[in-house]
Structure 1
Amino acid sequence: MIVDTLIHARWIIPVEPESVTLEHHTLVIDGGRIVDLLPTGLARQKYQGLATENLENHALLPGLINCHTHAAMTLMRGIADDLHLMDWLQNHIWPLEQKWMSEAFVRDGTDLAIAEMIRGGTTCFNDMYFYPEVTAAQAIQHGIRAIVGLIVIDFPTVWASNTAEYIEKGLALHDQLRHQSLISAAFAPHAPYTVSDEALQKIRTLADELELPVHMHLHETLHEVEEAQKQNGRRPLQRLHELGLINPSFLGVHMTQLSGDEISLFAHTGAHIVHCPESNLKLASGFCPVAKCLAAGINVALGTDGPASNNDLDMFGEMRTAALLGKAVAGDASAVPAMTALRMATINGARALGLDNEIGSLSIGKSADVIAIDLSCLETQPLYCPVSQIVYAASRQQVTDLWVAGRCLLKQRQLTTINTADLKLKVAEWQQRLAS
């Protein structure tokens, strides 16, 4: 039988079923989907591939899913480091955005982010930033899967003058994306302290009607929670719950300030947490109690946050940090084991985005969003357990090949849809402008 692609690998880690590692198996791809997964000897007898990859030292994984990004902020990477969150935002990032924000800024910054994510094994990202139509266009051009945030914020920016215009433009973009197979939309109200009750009620109604996720910063810092209590006597999570937003379509990003009762409430609603451990550490925002949240039954996914506050889009780093930090916070070395961290970066992310029937594991019938990791490097030798080695020792530089819906976007470390020389020139031009 002739198929599009055969990938013969030393190991395949499908993620589902959990804790399964297949040795000397082959992934069979046709029409952009996984049509079979079987021992390599049988695959060679049964299938002939129009393209065949022999990856004798590699592990195949589902593509990593970055559930929280501000992709275009790659152009501000390292420009305002080692500051408190509100100082960083109010005195540095927001003034820069006010001066330089444009379609060109988002286009070039998103291109840089997509290049970095593909080279780092990310096949899908969930974004929140201005000009989401530009982010969508660049994702389409380069072949990566994306959920673009229909951002809403109370104050005017270059993209919209008021909440009504933010919502109107977001709905128009959602309509434009209806027939895109790799790109979809989510409502992205920025944070409780920047979006009013009236706007949030409108978003909840529209999200219910359109069956869209709602992606929002929440309980990011103690300061955020304390200020909310001073102003209206309620913690932000309580306020959003009373507005009907905390439900199975809600993604709460950061969530570093959670009481036991709030963990129970969140678990009961079926809402999702997007944990951004490295950004939280860098901004000293606090620690999400991941082990307690997982034990309560909450689906916890991973995100990098923006590259201006992380300062990278490295999901391998996030997996490792999530596992190590989770152990330290819980005071338990068995908390957040390697397989759990890998699931947070794959199937948990897919579930949070409502895409778990399509991506997040190497299962027959799902989209062929696949990455190959070379584990023959000295840094990952000797090798006893591939999953542990990937989470605790491997780096993103060991990702050699990547496919989204069966299309190869990274071939032996070379990007296939992005001209890196041209991209570097554009980034250098932006560096000169922003530095001035």
Structure 2
Amino acid sequence: MIIRNARIFTNDADNHYYETGFIQIQDGLITQVGAGEGPADPEVIDAKGKIMLPGLINLHNHIYSALSRGVYLPKHNPNNFLEILEGMWWNLDRNLDNPLVALSARATYYECIKNGVTTIFDHHASFSDVLGSLETIAKESRQAGMRSCLCFEVTDRYGKDKSKQSIDENLQFIEEVRQDGRDDLRALFGLHASFTLDDETLADISRRLPEEVGTHFHLSEGIDDEIHAQELGTTPLRRLIEHGLVKPNSLAIHGIHLGDDDFSLLKDTGAAVIHNPQSNMGNAVGYCPVLKFLGHDIPVGLGTDGYTQDMIETARIAALMMRHENKNPRTGWVEPYDMLLQTNAELATKHFGLTLGRLEAGAGADLILLDYVPYTPFGGDNLSGHLHFGMNGAMVSDTMAKGQWLMRDRQVLTIDEADLVAEASAAAEGLWEEMKK
């Protein structure tokens, strides 16, 4: 297949931009990209001058939250983050079984495709059905045509039986992915947060977790994590490090309430931080000190925490939040868009073992086309300005992953919209009634 007549932003090492370019794809990989029409090919697609970007990547998602949209819980009137967790999200996750998980995944993947997201890193929780839940999501991921790195959050908040099941679910899925060997599924080991895990559970995880497997965990999102650790004479980060659970391929989510010593500790682990700006504002938990992490040479990627699947909008919010929090209008023009396009690509490539987030020979054929018509000069040197002031996920008209079209002319091809709406709406009504009890 060859796609011609596209305005291609490659996001490669040299930041190539082709005003009128082509991209050739074979067996799920990009074989050529460049200016002009390119070589002859039996299948030629005219992009009609649309802008082409690499498929977008979300480094922290919560599939399990999908069916909560619009729910009203009369008894839920939270005053702080812990009450938000207890009244909404823990209420939700303890009522999810595998059929509801499947619908949550299908709805999330549908919205990802619509917004040009082709790879997600998901942190899952469903305590009515722990075992088999990750395989349930994996099946939906493959049906949708996506790439997914999955984990199940281990916590002691529901007792030891559930925490042991959660450990088993992670380890079983890690082994299943290893045996599967394909490049569209990966696994990390999920931890909720230090304040809902006791030392016995952390020691058990440390003993059983393969050395090469990284962790995906919430770090110092709310002040409760800090208070709990202080009572133990430590910090959340130091506690997890002492148990050997923060590794070079770990993802530390949020990182809002860190002590001064934590930055150098985190740097030494080689782990990355994932910033989730809308969620942090929505939960009123504080601000991830992105510039301070970058100043310590700690990679900072971008996620949504399930808040949205529009990664372009997420980068814009991250930029505005950075300027507001630092009271400096010079910040935020580059960093959030580097997080979206560079760091997210680097971390996804590291975990999947395949070049992602770049349009270059040998990379996975994940790309999107956008109906954005710039009426000012546009190129590789000012893409961030157009992303910030002009573009959003709703402009994505076509989405491809693994060399297969997932959406053409805004019609999702791998998920039936009518069936999804009917099934998810009915399921959500029943779920909400359970949550109100």
Question: What is the TM-score normalised by the length of structure 1?
Answer: 0.88
1:399 aligns with 2:405: no
More displaced, 121-130 or 388-397? 388-397
1:143-164 CA-to-partner distances (Å, cap 9, x unmatched) read 110011133222448xx93433
Change (3 A) 1:391 1:8: farther
Q: Which residue of 1 is the match for residue 122 of structure 2?
A: 127
| 1:262 shift after superposition | 2.0
Secondary structure of 1:345's match? helix
CA distance in 2, matches of 1:190, 1:93: 12
AA paired with 2:184? L
Q: Which residue of 1 is the match for residue 2 of structure 2?
A: 6
1:425 aligns with 2:422: yes
CA distance in 2, matches of 1:200, 1:257: 21
| 1:14 shift after superposition | 1.8
CA contact (8 A) 2:221 2:256 kept: yes
CA distance in 2, matches of 1:390, 1:9: 21
1:173-229 CA-to-partner distances (Å, cap 9, x unmatched) read 2222232331111100111112223333443454443x2221000010223212321
Q: Which residue of 1 is the match for residue 41 of structure 2?
A: 48
Of residues 95, 104, 110, the one that matches 2:105 is: 110
More displaced, 10-19 or 389-398? 10-19
1:64 aligns with 2:56: yes
Of residues 6, 13, 19, the one that matches 1:17 is: 13
| 1:27 shift after superposition | 1.4
1:280-305 CA-to-partner distances (Å, cap 9, x unmatched) read 00001110111221232111111110
Q: Which residue of 2 is the match for residue 226 of structure 1?
A: 227
Among the aligned pairs, what percent are the same residue?
28
| 1:349 shift after superposition | 2.2
CA contact (8 A) 2:183 2:354 kept: no
1:323-362 CA-to-partner distances (Å, cap 9, x unmatched) read 1212222333332324x42332244124334237421211
CA contact (8 A) 1:103 1:134 kept: yes
AA paired with 1:50? E
CA distance in 2, matches of 1:124, 1:9: 25
Structure 1: gaps (5+ residues): none
More displaced, 200-209 or 231-240? 200-209
CA distance in 1, matches of 2:204, 2:55: 34
AA paired with 2:220? H
Structure 2: gaps (5+ residues): 127-132
CA contact (8 A) 1:347 1:359 kept: no
| 1:18 shift after superposition | 5.7
CA contact (8 A) 1:9 1:59 kept: no
1:389-435 CA-to-partner distances (Å, cap 9, x unmatched) read 12332121100111111111011111011100011101220232234
AA paired with 2:2? L
CA contact (8 A) 1:258 1:289 kept: no
Question: What is the TM-score normalised by the length of structure 2?
Answer: 0.88
1:104-133 CA-to-partner distances (Å, cap 9, x unmatched) read 110111111100011011101111113222
CA distance in 2, matches of 1:142, 1:395: 22
CA distance in 2, matches of 1:274, 1:433: 33
Of residues 138, 143, 153, the one that matches 1:136 is: 138
Q: How many residues align?
A: 415
CA contact (8 A) 2:183 2:353 kept: no
Secondary structure of 1:128's match? strand
Q: Which residue of 2 is the match for residue 329 of structure 1?
A: 325
AA paired with 1:365? G
